[in-house]
Structure 1
Amino acid sequence: MKIAVAGKGGSGKTLLAGSLAFLFARAGRITLAIDADSAPNLGFLLGLTPGGADTLVPVSKNADLIAAKTGTPYPGVYALNFSVDDVVTKYAVSTPAGPHLLVMGTVTSMGAGCTCPANSVVRALLRHLLVERDEVVILDMEAGVEHIGRGTAESVDVMLVTSDAHRQSLVIAGRIAKMAQDSGIPRVELVGNRIQEPGQETVIRDFARVNALTVAGMIPFDPAVTRAGVNGDSISTLLGSATLEAISGILTRICPGQNVHGENV
């Protein structure tokens, strides 16, 4: 299962991505969480300490890795064919919450065909993760989907786009969903977040209907999430919370063969 999560900054996309990765790992699935945001913080949610998270160098900024993969004896000439099979083994780290984490970082113009060394490595690595590997992959993305170019997008099983009921958040969610569909992602669904009253859910469902989007589920406003954020707690501390129960329901809906409360089915 390959799931990409996107949305406006502050919409709850990292919470959703981290929760999905945690639930898959807890159910016994080998799970790799990919932080592809320009301001990576998925590691904190998965239980890494600030010091531990700060030591992680994003793939796109790892000069030694990029040089090893793309370097040639000729100045200004870069290799475009190389293996990335070893990157996960060398650079993904285990987290207290269960999933392994790889910080990808971001580069620009991925979909425009830029062939600079960092872009080439990130593109090859994403294709390897999404096309050639069997484990569960959860991608915490930026608002755009430029990371995922043609030939890779169709290997994402589903993109979940998060939004609360605010108009600006919904407009951005609609743009992201359209970009994802145009990129070739076969299944794009909307997730409502921080729902405090029925009227907010109605606003999100009406927006989804007008924009021909399926709603994967609704996550309620949950003080437990706020407390966990203030305390710097891992997602694992939210077991039994309304948030994780709602996200468990979303996971069951998009992946009905997965029992997130225990064994695979």
Structure 2
Amino acid sequence: MKIAVAGKGGVGKTFIAGTLACTFASRGLKTIAIDADTSPNLALTLGMTPEEANRILPIAENQSLIDEKTKTDYPGVFRISYTVDDIVSSQAVSTPCGVQLLVMGMVRVMGAGCACPAHNLVRTLLSHLIIERKEVLIMDMEAGVEHLGRGTAKNVDILLIVTDTHQASLVTAGRIADLARPAGIPEIAYVANRVTGSDSEAIIRESAHSHGVQVMAYVPFDQDILRAGMEGKPVATENKYTAVTEVQSLATRLEHNFLSA
């Protein structure tokens, strides 16, 4: 089962992705989470400390790995075909909730040489994981719509678009849905986050309907989660939070839809 989680920055997509990943892992499913955001913080949601998260070397910044996979004997020429099977075992980081985490990172190169090898390695790795591997895979995508233009969300089973009731969030969600459909993603659904009542449910449901998308979950606004976030406490495995239990219910629906066959 391969899940991509997208949405405007700040809508809670990392909370949704991380809680889903921890939930699947707690049920005995081998789970790989990919932080494909250019501002990665999925590690914190998965229970790592800031110090542990800062020690993770993103794939796009691992020059020795990039050279090993792409370098040739000819300056300016790099390999575009290579195996990446070993990257998961050698580069994935174990997290407290049992999820294996890969951080893609961003290529921080401006006028400092060709960034193509790093981009190609990330793209190849994403394709390998999405197309070939059999585990539960959850990608926390870059905020906005740029990732769809690059094709990094292709070949997933479902794209979950996280949104709240803010107009900017709804507009971005609609754009993502409209771009994802012609990209061939088989299933697209909204996850309504920070829902405060029937009025906000209706707003998100109407917006989703206008783009031909269903709302798969309504995650309630939870003040306790905001407080936990300010205190730096991970909540993805805490059943006492109503928002967490709703995401766990979403995980059950996804299991039924994609793993029960």
User: TM-score, length-normalised on structure 2?
Assistant: 0.91
Question: Which residue in the other structure is 1:25 paired with?
Answer: 25
Q: CA, structure 1 residues 153+14, in 2 after alignment: closer, same or farther (shift >3 Å)?
A: closer
Amino acid at match of 2:43: G
**Aligned residues of 1:106 and 1:147 also touching (Cα < 8 A):** no
Q: CA, structure 1 residues 227+255, in 2 after alignment: closer, same or farther (shift >3 Å)?
A: same
Equivalent positions of 1:182-221 (< 5 A) are 182-221=182-221
Question: Which residue in the other structure is 2:145 paired with?
Answer: 144
| Partners of 1:258 and 1:230 in 2: CA distance | 35
Flag as ranges the 4+ runs of structure 1 deviating above 3 A.
147-150
| Partners of 1:163 and 1:74 in 2: CA distance | 47
| Partners of 2:239 and 2:218 in 1: CA distance | 17
Question: What SS does the corresponding residue of 2:199 show, helix, strand or coil?
Answer: helix
The answer to which of 178-187 and 28-37 deviates more is 178-187
Question: What SS does the corresponding residue of 1:159 show, helix, strand or coil?
Answer: strand
Amino acid at match of 1:94: S
Q: CA, structure 1 residues 153+13, in 2 after alignment: closer, same or farther (shift >3 Å)?
A: closer
**Aligned residues of 2:15 and 2:236 also touching (Cα < 8 A):** no
| Partners of 1:75 and 1:30 in 2: CA distance | 40
| Partners of 1:182 and 1:235 in 2: CA distance | 36
Which sections of structure 1, spanning at least 5 residues, go unmatched?
109-113
The structural deviation recorded for 1:176 is 1.2
Question: Which residue in the other structure is 1:5 paired with?
Answer: 5
| Partners of 1:234 and 1:103 in 2: CA distance | 18
Query: Once the two structures are aligned, what percentage of the paired residues are identical?
Result: 45
| Partners of 1:22 and 1:190 in 2: CA distance | 20
* Deviations, residues 7-51 of structure 1 (Å, cap 9, x unaligned): 001101000000110000000000001000000000011111111
Question: What SS does the corresponding residue of 1:201 show, helix, strand or coil?
Answer: helix
**Aligned residues of 1:22 and 1:235 also touching (Cα < 8 A):** no
| Partners of 1:125 and 1:60 in 2: CA distance | 11
The structural deviation recorded for 1:119 is 1.5
Q: CA, structure 1 residues 30+153, in 2 after alignment: closer, same or farther (shift >3 Å)?
A: same
Q: CA, structure 1 residues 32+162, in 2 after alignment: closer, same or farther (shift >3 Å)?
A: same
Question: What SS does the corresponding residue of 1:238 show, helix, strand or coil?
Answer: coil
Query: Is structure 2 residue 14 aligned with structure 1 residue 14?
Result: yes
- After superposition, the CA RMSD in angstroms is 2.2
User: TM-score, length-normalised on structure 1?
Assistant: 0.90
Amino acid at match of 2:84: V
The structural deviation recorded for 1:63 is 1.1
Question: Which residue in the other structure is 1:173 paired with?
Answer: 173
**Aligned residues of 2:177 and 2:211 also touching (Cα < 8 A):** no
Which sections of structure 2, spanning at least 5 residues, go unmatched?
109-113
Q: CA, structure 1 residues 237+187, in 2 after alignment: closer, same or farther (shift >3 Å)?
A: closer
Question: What SS does the corresponding residue of 2:189 show, helix, strand or coil?
Answer: strand
The structural deviation recorded for 1:249 is 2.0
Question: Which residue in the other structure is 1:253 paired with?
Answer: 253
Q: CA, structure 1 residues 237+127, in 2 after alignment: closer, same or farther (shift >3 Å)?
A: closer
